[in-house]
Amino acid sequence: MRQFAVIGLGRFGITVARALSKKGFQVIVIDSDEEKVRIASEFTTVAVQLDATDANSLQKVGLKDMDVAIVAVGEDISASILVTMICKDMGIPMVISKATDPLQGKILAKIGADRVVFPERDMGERLAESLASPGIFDFISVSKDYSIIEIAAPKAFCGKNLGEVNLRAKYGVTVIAIKHKIPGIDEAGEPTFSEEIGIAPTSKDEIAKGDTLVVLGKVKDVERLKGII
């Protein structure tokens, strides 16, 4: 099983650690703040209080054996750079570093971070997209050129299959999943629904009212598609 280290227990770090622990992974957390370490010790495999910018201390807690290190000390730029370097020097195969601005992101990528994440920026973009149109539920930037959006199936699509709607020809985008709601009755006899996700749908798959389409495409094509929602 993959082992994760989360260094820095701010809101982002502790959320990542908690989510990974919940999924059953072994998680080591490190922070210099005693209280934060105590809180994290309740749900992680190992919680250690130490100064993560000290390479020797990190060596002692066995950080080099980790498969993935998440460096979540974004606010302290010099610490995030130093800790990322130490993790890479130790030979951790995957180092993911949190950045708060593009310059910090560039530096982290230059010194060897395998992935740089910008949680505030990404969440801000996703929130703005969903607020800009009530029909857009989520937005993920896959790369500079590609993005994925989750949209409520427009009325004009309902009752048609993907072949008839032909988004690939009209907009150059691909529907990678359709989320379909299945109505049911709960234990108390009240209406409820569950969601069924059809991954990689074919041209024969039909779009129903209330469906959500997960669409991948070039940013400019996705923008054009958003125009019809």
Tell me whether strands 26-31 and 146-152 are parallel, antiparallel or unpaired.
unpaired
Report CA dihedral (25, 26, 30, 36) to the nearest 10 degrees: 60
Which range touches other proteins (CB under 8 A), out of 8-16, 22-30, 161-169, 207-215?
Answer: 207-215
Which two structure tokens, joined as six digits, stand for 3? 């082992």
Residue 11 touches other proteins, criterion: CB under 8 A: no
Q: Which of 219, 213, 208, 196 shows the shortest CA–CA distance to 135?
A: 213
Which range touches other proteins (CB under 8 A), out of 34-42, 101-109, 112-120, 189-197?
Answer: 189-197
Give the residue, chosen from 128, 192, 196, 223, that forms a contact with other proteins under the rule CB under 8 A: 192
Q: Which of 78, 122, 117, 77 shows the shortest CA–CA distance to 98?
A: 117
Residue 181 touches other proteins, criterion: CB under 8 A: yes
Give the residue, chosen from 21, 79, 212, 214, that forms a contact with other proteins under the rule CB under 8 A: 212
CB of 188 to other proteins, least distance (A): 8
Contacts with other proteins, 139-158, as mask; x by CB under 8 A? -------------xx-----
CA 104/CA 84 separation, integer angstroms: 12
Which range touches other proteins (CB under 8 A), out of 6-14, 63-71, 95-103, 176-184?
Answer: 176-184
- Side-chain-side CA neighbours of 34 within 13 Å: the count stands at 0
Which range touches other proteins (CB under 8 A), out of 42-50, 114-122, 196-204, 209-217?
Answer: 209-217
Give the residue, chosen from 208, 216, 218, 219, that forms a contact with other proteins under the rule CB under 8 A: 208
Residue 191 touches other proteins, criterion: CB under 8 A: yes
Residue 162 vs residues 94, 131, 204: alpha-carbon distances, Å = 38, 27, 6
CA 179/CA 207 separation, integer angstroms: 9
Which range touches other proteins (CB under 8 A), out of 58-66, 103-111, 178-186, 219-227?
Answer: 178-186
CA 36/CA 44 separation, integer angstroms: 12
Helix (H) or strand (E) holding 157: none
Is the CB of 116 or the CB of 175 nearer to other proteins? 175
Is the CB of 185 or the CB of 199 nearer to other proteins? 185
46 forms beta bridges with: 28
Q: Which of 94, 218, 201 shows the shortest CA–CA distance to 146?
A: 218
Q: What is the footprint of other proteins within residues 23-62 (CB under 8 A)?
A: none
Binding-site ranges for other proteins (CB under 8 A) = 134-135, 152-153, 181, 183-186, 190-193, 208-212
